[in-house]
Amino acid sequence: MNDSPIVVLTALDVEYEAVREKLDAPRVHRHPQGTRFEVGRLAGGKCRIALGLVGKGNQSAAVLTERAITEFSPVALLFVGVAGALHTHIPLGDLVVATHVYAFHGGTSEDDGFKSRPRVWEASHGADQLARHVARDRAWADDGRTGKVHFGPIAAGEVVLDSKVSAYARWIRQHFNDALAIEMEGAGVAQAAHLNRSLPVVVVRGISDRADGTKETTDREQWQARAVANAAAYTVALAENLAGEERDRARSEANDPKGSSDMPGTTRNVAKDNARVGVQAGQVYGGIHVSSERTAPADPAEAIAGLAARLQQARTSGQLDEDTYQAAQAELAAAGETLLTTAPQDMGAVTLALKKVRGLVADVAILAAEVGTIIALVQGLS
């Protein structure tokens, strides 16, 4: 089953903290270029979240969204943050979920004035439907939250709007009249998701100011923390639902109901060494998995090299945090080196290093089992 996480991105520390506190013992996942993510399961839930901080603005949001997608291959991407309301019927603390995101800055300046050339990204149908379902269900608001969820366009630009009468305010009212909220990252995130096979993305914003000249006051009244707490509660419920749908999809793919009764769920043909396996079938129903069954190499050095590659994969997929990964690789390298320089009857040091690796990767059962197999191989040498 696909255990890819759902990536949740935020711009401000207050937003990051609101999501982080929903995670059970998150582990740091460090990208080689220094970006730090935290990966963990939702407390009391099944969904795995990779949480990141992209900072303010569409440009860094786009670059770091791309980075997060490459790093985690998520099943969906959620952006959680605060925003200014553009319509007076949306009170502070309510949520706006983007049906589409306008990048409102595009345009051409001509002799007779500025002409709008916006770009727009629409939420995927499935994600939009699920987001509305979670909003209706309101289980996320069980702890007494009162915020309402509104669905509509969000305008994303490069300025913090804090006026009702400025040129920007007039521009947005005139050209993006149906936008419910304004913020600074949605366009970058949506663009990056679009460039990655239109990965489903949902932008969730808690309304923390009215974009009308009173932002300083509402900020002082802690509306950012209050609004984003609502947004985070809703978002984690949405993440659980998205992950649940993904599990259902994977399960139904595995037990395809169209499968014929005389075809068993799983047929295993294992070829070893140079043997060949042929399959003849008129019609095959259900998911087909073609894979070579990995048989453990008999050579411990080869087995150690293979394990090093799988440690790297586990780090990339978020199963191992950066510090654990580095420590395990260091012990494994020591084991590999000692193996090459030590007489077969004196393999104690190699076994000890491998046992340390096994302790470090104990949380990932398949890796721990693989280390166990290598230990047995090494012990067989002496």
Ligand X SMILES: Nc1nc2c([nH]c(=O)n2[C@H]2C[C@H](O)[C@@H](COP(=O)(O)OP(=O)(O)OP(=O)(O)O)O2)c(=O)[nH]1
Considering only residues 264 through 283, tell me which ones interact with ligand X, judged by CB under 6 A: none
Q: Toward ligand X, which CB reaches closer, 227 or 236?
A: 227
Q: Toward ligand X, which CB reaches closer, 224 or 324?
A: 224
Q: Which of 5, 26, 81, 300 binds ligand X (CB under 6 A)?
A: 81
Per the DSSP assignment, residues forming a β-bridge with 156 are 103, 183
Q: Toward ligand X, which CB reaches closer, 209 or 370?
A: 209
Minimum Å gap between C-beta 212 and ligand X is 9
Minimum Å gap between C-beta 95 and ligand X is 13
The residues near 237 (Cβ < 8 Å, ≥ 6 apart) are 134, 137, 139, 140
Residue 242, CB-side half-sphere exposure with 13 Å CA sphere = 32
Q: Which residue is nearest to ligand X (CB)?
A: 84
Q: Which two tokens stand for residue 308?
A: 């090093």
Minimum Å gap between C-beta 379 and ligand X is 57
Q: Toward ligand X, which CB reaches closer, 81 or 336?
A: 81
Question: For the range 244-253, what are the long-range contacts, defined as Cβ-Cβ under 8 Å and sequence gap of 24 or more?
Answer: 244/46, 244/47, 245/130, 246/2, 246/75, 247/1, 247/46, 250/1, 250/2, 251/1, 253/286, 253/287
Q: Toward ligand X, which CB reaches closer, 159 or 376?
A: 159
Minimum Å gap between C-beta 202 and ligand X is 17
Binding to ligand X by residue 93, rule CB under 6 A? no
Q: Toward ligand X, which CB reaches closer, 199 or 207?
A: 207
Q: Which of 183, 246, 331, 370 binds ligand X (CB under 6 A)?
A: 183
Considering only residues 142 through 171, tell me which ones interact with ligand X, judged by CB under 6 A: 157, 159-162
Binding mask 335-354 for ligand X (x = CB under 6 A): --------------------
Q: Toward ligand X, which CB reaches closer, 156 or 360?
A: 156
Stretch that binds ligand X, among 30-38, 41-49, 79-87, 140-148 (CB under 6 A): 79-87
Phi, psi values for residue 241, rounded to 5°:
-65, -40
3-state secondary structure of 58: helix
| Helix axis angle, 223-254 to 125-137, nearest 10° | 120
Q: Toward ligand X, which CB reaches closer, 184 or 239?
A: 184
Region of residue 253 (phi > 0: left; psi between -120 and 50: alpha; otherwise: beta): alpha
Whole-angstrom Cα distance, residue 154 to residue 81?
Answer: 12
Whole-angstrom Cα distance, residue 230 to residue 8?
Answer: 15
Minimum Å gap between C-beta 132 and ligand X is 23
- DSSP per position, 137-192: H-GGGTTT----EEEEEEEE-SS----SSSHHHHHHHHHSTT--EEESSHHHHHHH
Considering only residues 200 through 239, tell me which ones interact with ligand X, judged by CB under 6 A: 208-209, 211, 219
Q: Which of 90, 95, 135, 182 binds ligand X (CB under 6 A)?
A: 182
Whole-angstrom Cα distance, residue 212 to residue 85?
Answer: 9
Polymer length of the chain = 382
Binding to ligand X by residue 172, rule CB under 6 A? no
Minimum Å gap between C-beta 203 and ligand X is 11
Beta carbons of 219 and 192 less than 8 angstroms apart: no
Q: Which of 184, 193, 328, 357 binds ligand X (CB under 6 A)?
A: 184
Q: Cα 306 from chain centroid?
A: 27
Q: Toward ligand X, which CB reaches closer, 207 or 354?
A: 207
Beta carbons of 359 and 375 less than 8 angstroms apart: no
Nearest-CA neighbor of 7 among 238, 321, 309? 238
Binding to ligand X by residue 84, rule CB under 6 A? yes
Binding to ligand X by residue 12, rule CB under 6 A? yes
Minimum Å gap between C-beta 183 and ligand X is 4
Q: Which of 7, 11, 75, 364 binds ligand X (CB under 6 A)?
A: 11
Q: Which of 27, 31, 56, 132 binds ligand X (CB under 6 A)?
A: 56
- Number of residues lying near ligand X (CB under 6 A): 20
Phi, psi values for residue 239, rounded to 5°:
-60, -45
**What is the contact surface with ligand X in residues (CB under 6 A)?**
11-12, 56, 81-84, 157, 159-162, 182-185, 208-209, 211, 219
